[in-house]
Structure 1
Amino acid sequence: MWSASIQHDLARPGGLRRRLSIPNPVNFFRLSKAFEQHQAALSIEWNKSPISFTKPNLNLASGRGIAPDARDRASPRVAARVGARYVLHTDIAQFYPSIYTHSIPWVLHTKAVAKSSIGNMALVGNLLDKEFQACQQGQTKGIAIGPDTSLGIAELLLSPLDQRIMAECNVVGGCRFIDDIELTFRTLSDADSALTKLEALLSDLELQPNALKTRIEELPVSLDSNVSTSLRGNLPPDTNAAQSQWIDYFNRAFAVAKEDRTAGVLRYAVAALSGVQPTTWCWSTVQQLLWQCITIDPGCIRHVVDVIAINRLRGGLVPDVDLAAKAIDSVIRTSAVSGHASEVVWSIWTAMYIGFQIKLDAQNAITAMDDALVATAAMFAGTATHVFSQPIDSRLWRSWLQQDCFYQEYWLFAYEAYRRGWFPNEVAASQIAQDPCAAFLNNSGVTFIVDNAVAAYVPQRAQAGGGGGGGGY
């Protein structure tokens, strides 16, 4: 059985977008089960790399099935550059969307064996290949960006490649973070030879380096982002910062952001404030500066809300509801018409958490959006809170509720509509209640919405004690 994944448009710095995929739970369960059953074979491949710092790690405390170790990137780079004079940096062009699912059995069993054993599900690679295809309506080109299984496949493909590069080239040191690769060398000719070898190995997997990010440089080269280096020294003191210090900090952040719009400067600048507590006297100005950031980079919304939440929880500082509503209204009006879904979902969350109503014009823009997560968030907000002044309705969203809707691109919205009683006539006509998988999930109490999210929400940095300023993002 094949199903479609939800496609969700995610904001990236500099006006760029990333298309995330959320697989159907039925097919994703089958895929995850295959990973679990063949964990030993996969782990052997994952552990081949001597330079990967994103090896899948079973950590029950992480909140994910498999996740990479949390490491900074500067320290591995420091170690890799000792004794070297040149550094090769590259990443893979459109990595996850370019992965060919048939390359999974190629790596696990060799191309010759895989091609002579097509359809043999006793081979782990063929089984994983089949289940990945089933998650994306049979497509063999590309895998979802986001799920833990995709990290597992990234390491499956690249760890043996790392092993060969380190064994066959004159490499001094190296480090890899998913598809971001850095290798160091004593001579320029060694670096050139390694790049040629790397290109050939990637070509065997039908992948290629990103030409815009591939370069060989003579050391010294910066170890860390210029963004963090530039802003870290200007961070306001943890307590009792003067208003002028807050203005100076954001003035610097705005200037750096203007110089490099693709670096996520404002996201870093806002997230770094999680351990800085404004005084009551400065709080109004701080909020104005924070909300200004989301107009420049709407991807800052979640970080801005977290900073406001932390100061409400720790210092009892009350958010300016009118100011928040004005800023969010502007984001929704701009983002909804462009189909920028992640900004709208975070805007709905902000209205729910801070407690203000979204204006009718913005509401109408939301109900015209072709995105399952926007629709689900809006319907939940409209029934669980008083975010909207009028009941939510959308002819477009009703049209998604057809036969087999649980296996189409809007499966999450269809399932929650069935579970929560939204659009009952259309849900009944879709016959989703007669689908054994959807009925099983519903009878088991499964939902993809955290019902008490607003009341229970505590930002992660507040849970961890927050520490001092300078946190990343």
Structure 2
Amino acid sequence: MLQTDIAQFYPSIYTHSVPWVLHTKAVAKAATQNMALAGNVLDKELQACQLGQTKGIAIGPDTSLGIAELLLSPLDERIRVECNPVGGCRFIDDIELTFRTLADADKALTRIEALLGELELQPNALKTSISELPVALESWFVTSLRANLPASMDASKSQWIDYFNRAFELARENRSAGVLRYAVAALSGVRPSDSCWDLAQRLMWQCVTIDPGCIRHVVDVIATYRQLAQKVPDCNIAESAVDSVIRSSATAGHASEVLWSIWAAMYIGFHIGPESQNSIAGMDDALVASAAMFASTSTPVFSQPFDSPIWKSWLQQDCFLEDRWLFVYEAYKRGWFAAEVATSQIAQDSNVAFLNGVGVTFIVDNAHTNYLPQSATSGGGGGGGY
């Protein structure tokens, strides 16, 4: 079995490779300004999303998933024809192929490196391996954790402790495997007893302080318990854990963890303390700023209004053309920092007027009141993963 993925896939995509794939490299290079070629139009628009850069495309939008398939679907066919695998699959940039012999797999890897090179891409050496079959059907830690999963409803405190002891042990053995994220997500089908509820919350929030990426899973599991088992979250425990995450993540510029922390506070209903709020106000990130301002004006998450000099500095003439345009637009639409918005003259931008005129917003106002995790709407999964 040959397993590999593409190193820094979305940040490494060369926008000119889109017309290469659609029209061949020879045709595309001979007609770089011909906007009758669909590839050139896509190339230009992708550059516009990245301030004119030809290296990298946005991570997250569904349009980027489409570009990924446009580039890699032809690669699938060439691998099938030129590498002759017995079977295999690709999920976005993760590739897994099986071969009859080790020699066939070695040759295929060499050929795949060349095919990716034609698109200015390369395999991730750290995630590339050739293994003799049979191989494990799932991650090594999943089987161990599943065997220790607390029994639904009647698990004792010792069972909960044993489960998390095992999870912490496995997480120390491989810090990059996402062990704690799986450990928390797998609990969606478990229902802690009243006597174990306080302990269960503390253990899940402890996972967040170790791996902040766990926070979305902790919130979903707690929401599932609240919806299906009428368990009331302990806001003091949640507040303490999230405060720790924000104060460590904000100074490091880890926007994702801070965004999930704000979401957790809004959804579960606890406060974010003044020191953490000050840390958030110092972040140079438009999405964090937008989420924080929305939370502060629509919920009691923050005890005082935001007065961030950094965020105000984005509100200047032609600011809608700069990196922080999303925050700028929401500030204009929602009345944040009204004096600075007026000085920036953003209202005179025709693009802003169009977006506002048709009611565009990038924030779902009632998300934190209407959201239900999938495990809550499906009745839980009996300990399924994520």
Common topology (TM > 0.5):
yes
> By how many angstroms is 1:429 displaced?
1.1
Alignment-derived partner of residue 266 in structure 1: 180
> By how many angstroms is 1:443 displaced?
2.2
Alignment-derived partner of residue 98 in structure 2: 184
> By how many angstroms is 1:250 displaced?
0.9
Aligned pair partner of 1:250 in 164, 170, 174:
164
Could you list the runs of 5+ residues in structure 1 that have no partner in the other structure?
Answer: 1-86
Residues of 2 paired with 1:302 and 1:210: CA distance? Answer: 27
> By how many angstroms is 1:355 displaced?
2.2
RMSD, aligned α-carbons: 1.3
Counterparts of residues 329-408 of structure 1 (less than 5 Å):
329-408=243-322
- Residue pair 1:232, 1:470 contacting (<8 A) in 2 also: no
* Partner-residue secondary structure (3-state), 1:282: helix
Question: Sequence identity of aligned pairs in percent?
Answer: 73
* Partner-residue secondary structure (3-state), 2:194: coil
Alignment-derived partner of residue 121 in structure 2: 207
Larger mean Cα displacement after TM superposition, 305-314 or 294-303: 305-314
Give me the TM-score of the superposition, normalised by structure 1: 0.79
- Residue pair 1:98, 1:141 contacting (<8 A) in 2 also: yes
Alignment-derived partner of residue 175 in structure 1: 89
Alignment-derived partner of residue 147 in structure 2: 233
Alignment-derived partner of residue 79 in structure 2: 165
Residues of 1 paired with 2:264 and 2:123: CA distance? Answer: 39
- Residue pair 1:299, 1:343 contacting (<8 A) in 2 also: yes
Consecutive aligned runs of 4 or more in structure 1 exceeding 3 Å deviation: none
Alignment-derived partner of residue 221 in structure 2: 307
Residues of 2 paired with 1:321 and 1:165: CA distance? Answer: 53
Counterparts of residues 7-406 of structure 1 (less than 5 Å):
87-406=1-320
| Residues 170-202 of structure 1: per-residue CA shift (max 9 Å, x gap) | 321111111111221112221222122111111
- Residue pair 2:332, 2:341 contacting (<8 A) in 1 also: yes
- Residue pair 2:150, 2:163 contacting (<8 A) in 1 also: yes
> By how many angstroms is 1:401 displaced?
0.6
> By how many angstroms is 1:415 displaced?
0.8
Matched, 1:409 2:323: yes
Residues of 2 paired with 1:355 and 1:143: CA distance? Answer: 36
Residues of 2 paired with 1:121 and 1:393: CA distance? Answer: 46
Residues of 1 paired with 2:183 and 2:273: CA distance? Answer: 29
* Partner-residue secondary structure (3-state), 1:218: coil
Give me the TM-score of the superposition, normalised by structure 2: 0.97
Give the number of aligned pairs.
386
| Residues 214-262 of structure 1: per-residue CA shift (max 9 Å, x gap) | 2222222222211222211211122222211111111111111111100
1:178 alignment partner AA: I
Residues of 2 paired with 1:149 and 1:456: CA distance? Answer: 26
Residues of 2 paired with 1:276 and 1:172: CA distance? Answer: 40
> By how many angstroms is 1:377 displaced?
1.2
Alignment-derived partner of residue 80 in structure 1: none
1:429 and 1:160, CA in 2 relative to 1: closer, same or farther beyond 3 A? same
> By how many angstroms is 1:94 displaced?
1.2
> By how many angstroms is 1:299 displaced?
0.8
Aligned pair partner of 2:370 in 433, 456, 461:
456
* Partner-residue secondary structure (3-state), 1:175: strand
Higher share in helix = 2
Residues of 1 paired with 2:125 and 2:46: CA distance? Answer: 28
> By how many angstroms is 1:405 displaced?
1.6
Alignment-derived partner of residue 6 in structure 1: none
> By how many angstroms is 1:470 displaced?
2.1
- Residue pair 2:57, 2:64 contacting (<8 A) in 1 also: yes
- Residue pair 2:228, 2:379 contacting (<8 A) in 1 also: no
* Partner-residue secondary structure (3-state), 1:391: coil
> By how many angstroms is 1:457 displaced?
2.1
Larger mean Cα displacement after TM superposition, 365-374 or 191-200: 191-200
Residues of 1 paired with 2:84 and 2:365: CA distance? Answer: 55
Residues of 1 paired with 2:144 and 2:39: CA distance? Answer: 46
- Residue pair 1:235, 1:470 contacting (<8 A) in 2 also: no
Counterparts of residues 414-433 of structure 1 (less than 5 Å):
414-433=328-347
1:385 alignment partner AA: T
Ranked by relative contact order (alpha carbons within 8 Å, sequence separation 6 or more), the top structure is: 1
